């Protein structure tokens, strides 16, 4: 179950060319099982029709404060009160100015004033307008008042200029929504998560690697951010884009990952090694592409550094958490690794199963603790498992 599930979201759509992107926002929220109520301003309705948004949201779209039917069915106060989140996307300079100045002359500005729910504003406008003193000052003031913003992206705008002003990526807006709606048990914690495989070069075109997709580690990093932590993700080569609102450091080899994780672990409260670090690397990588007939049939290997073991030797008050991908004797192997690497917990999954692990979007794990306690997290999405792991770690270790 995702964060939007069961939530009441009021989506304000104002008059800009990006109004059509509200369709995608509604669809994504609806897919996440949120109940979406769209409030469309008069100028918004010049760009997109109420019928489109009504069809996608499966709820009546409110356009006019003084419409007797909609006011009796879904009055502005009732909308304002039942919202868990009020999202305005796209938000024009006009609506931002109205909110800042306490003007409530249409349905959207009235609902904003009447709500106690968090308000997330995603501006979209011409770059010159966005850079204007009025908008800068209005945004700064609203931030001080506790309004949340997702800054617009830079790029080519509909008006032909290039610069900041384009509505932020829909995925980024939704991610900020999830962050706002999540509980924050990890607030104040600094977390480092590693993810993905490592790739150990043989020559400039070949490398040794493994099947890790990075999905579990990325989910752990995203979940920690949503739960309030300050997060750095150290990732080996994966096809996944950098997650929003956290720092991502990209590395390739185990040696590079050791350097990055060791550096980032300074001052961190928790290090979670989710990466499937290669155990061996070609001993002498060639600087030139090895010819077919120059290969021979043997590649000499050398061990890579064990990052967790190295952190475990000087861990101080930091929590160290490992992941163990096993095909046999899961409990015994996981416990042995936890002891050898001096860990505070190890999360183990059975990668011989095809429905979980590696490239799958789902997982099922057992968490082992040094005191012998074992927690089982049943089959769920990797995002769901990640939240479960963080809540388990928080309940048992981090709250001390």
Please state the separation of Cα 253 from the chain's center in Å.
Answer: 24
- Residue 216: phi and psi, rounded to 5, are -65, -45
Candidates 43-51, 135-143, 200-208, 316-324 — which segment interacts with ligand C5P by CB under 6 A? 316-324
DSSP state of 240: P
Q: Binder to ligand C5P among 10, 48, 308, 393 (CB under 6 A)? A: 308
Q: Binder to ligand C5P among 86, 191, 254, 338 (CB under 6 A)? A: 254
Given strand 362-368, what is the order of strands in its sheet? 247-250, 230-235, 190-195, 270-273, 319-326, 345-350, 362-368, 374-381
Cis peptide before 90 (omega within 30 of 0): yes
Q: From the CB of residue 343, how many other CB atoms can be counted at a distance below 10 Å?
A: 26
Site residues for ligand C5P, 44-73, by CB under 6 A, read none
Strand, coil or helix: what is 174?
Answer: helix
Nearer to ligand C5P, 179 or 254 (CB): 254
Asked if 334 touches ligand C5P (CB under 6 A), the answer is no
Contact call for residues 332 and 384 (beta carbons, < 8 A): no
Question: Smallest gap, in angstroms, from Cβ of residue 362 to ligand C5P?
Answer: 20
Nearer to ligand C5P, 34 or 348 (CB): 348
Q: Binder to ligand C5P among 275, 345, 351, 367 (CB under 6 A)? A: 275
Q: What is the dihedral of CA 60, 61, 63, 68, to 10 degrees?
A: 10
Nearer to ligand C5P, 120 or 343 (CB): 343
Candidates 59-67, 102-110, 290-298, 304-312 — which segment interacts with ligand C5P by CB under 6 A? 304-312
Nearer to ligand C5P, 26 or 307 (CB): 307
Q: Binder to ligand C5P among 37, 166, 225, 337 (CB under 6 A)? A: 337
Candidates 6-14, 36-44, 162-170, 270-278 — which segment interacts with ligand C5P by CB under 6 A? 270-278
User: Active-site residue 159, yes or no?
Assistant: yes
Residue among 106, 270, 130, 114 at smallest CA distance from 194: 270
Candidates 26-34, 84-92, 306-314, 365-373 — which segment interacts with ligand C5P by CB under 6 A? 306-314
C-alpha angle 83/226/16, rounded to 5°?
Answer: 55
Contact call for residues 312 and 291 (beta carbons, < 8 A): no
- Residue 337: phi and psi, rounded to 5, are -65, -40
Nearer to ligand C5P, 46 or 327 (CB): 327
Q: Binder to ligand C5P among 277, 319, 338, 348 (CB under 6 A)? A: 277
Asked if 368 touches ligand C5P (CB under 6 A), the answer is no
Candidates 1-9, 235-243, 286-294, 320-328 — which segment interacts with ligand C5P by CB under 6 A? 320-328
Q: Binder to ligand C5P among 168, 273, 391, 392 (CB under 6 A)? A: 273
Beta-strand (E) ranges in 146-210? Answer: 148-149, 153-156, 162-166, 190-195, 200-201, 207-208
Catalytic residue among 1, 42, 131, 159: 159
Structure token pair of residue 300: 């000499």
Contact call for residues 355 and 323 (beta carbons, < 8 A): no
- How many residues touch ligand C5P under the rule CB under 6 A: the total is 13
Q: Binder to ligand C5P among 268, 324, 330, 391 (CB under 6 A)? A: 324
C-alpha span between 138 and 95 (Å, rounded): 10
Q: From the CB of residue 268, how many other CB atoms can be counted at a distance below 10 Å?
A: 21
Nearer to ligand C5P, 226 or 337 (CB): 337
Residue among 151, 160, 84 at smallest CA distance from 124: 151
Site residues for ligand C5P, 146-175, by CB under 6 A, read none
Q: From the CB of residue 384, how many other CB atoms can be counted at a distance below 10 Å?
A: 18
Q: Binder to ligand C5P among 63, 109, 304, 363 (CB under 6 A)? A: 304
Q: Binder to ligand C5P among 197, 322, 357, 388 (CB under 6 A)? A: 322
Question: Smallest gap, in angstroms, from Cβ of residue 257 to ligand C5P?
Answer: 8
Nearer to ligand C5P, 135 or 274 (CB): 274
Residue positions annotated with a catalytic role:
159
Residues in contact with ligand C5P by CB under 6 A are 254, 273, 275, 277, 304-308, 322-324, 337
């Amino acid at each position: 179950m995702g964060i939007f599930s069961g939530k009441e979201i009021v989506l304000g759509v104002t008059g800009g060319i990006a109004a059509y992107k509200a369709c995608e926002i509604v669809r994504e929220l609806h897919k996440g099982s949120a109940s979406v109520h769209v409030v469309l301003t008069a100028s918004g309705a010049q760009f997109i029709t109420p019928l489109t948004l009504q069809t996608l949201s499966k709820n009546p779209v409110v356009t006019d404060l003084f419409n007797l039917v909609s006011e009796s069915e879904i009055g502005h106060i009732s909308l304002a009160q039942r919202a868990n989140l009020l999202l305005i996307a796209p938000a024009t300079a006009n609506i931002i100015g109205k909110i800042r100045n306490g003007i409530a002359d249409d349905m959207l500005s009235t609902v904003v004033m009447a709500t106690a729910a968090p308000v997330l504003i995603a501006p979209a406008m011409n770059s010159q307008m966005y850079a204007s003193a009025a908008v800068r000052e209005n945004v700064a003031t609203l931030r001080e008042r506790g309004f949340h913003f997702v800054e617009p992206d830079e790029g080519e705008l509909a008006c032909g200029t290039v610069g900041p002003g384009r509505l932020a990526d829909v995925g980024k807006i939704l991610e900020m929504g999830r962050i706002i709606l999540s509980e924050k048990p990890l607030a104040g914690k600094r977390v480092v998560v590693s993810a993905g495989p490592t790739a150990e070069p043989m020559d400039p075109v070949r490398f040794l690697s493994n099947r890790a997709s990075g999905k579990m580690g990325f989910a752990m990093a995203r979940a920690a951010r949503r739960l309030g932590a300050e997060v750095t993700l150290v990732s080996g080569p994966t096809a996944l884009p950098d997650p929003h609102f956290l720092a991502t450091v990209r590395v390739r080899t185990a040696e590079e990952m050791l350097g990055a994780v060791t550096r980032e672990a300074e001052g961190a409260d928790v290090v979670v090694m989710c990466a499937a670090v290669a155990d061996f690397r070609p001993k002498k990588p060639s600087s030139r592409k090895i010819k077919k007939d120059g290969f021979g049939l043997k590649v000499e290997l050398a061990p890579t550094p064990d990052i967790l073991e190295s952190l475990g030797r000087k861990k101080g008050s930091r929590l160290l958490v490992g992941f163990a991908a096993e095909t046999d004797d899961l409990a015994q192997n996981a416990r042995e690794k936890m002891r050898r690497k001096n860990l505070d917990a190890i999360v183990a999954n059975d990668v011989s199963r095809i429905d979980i692990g590696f490239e799958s979007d789902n997982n099922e794990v057992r968490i082992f603790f040094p005191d012998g306690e074992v927690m089982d997290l049943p089959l769920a999405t990797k995002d769901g498992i990640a939240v479960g792991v963080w809540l388990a770690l928080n309940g048992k270790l981090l709250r001390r």
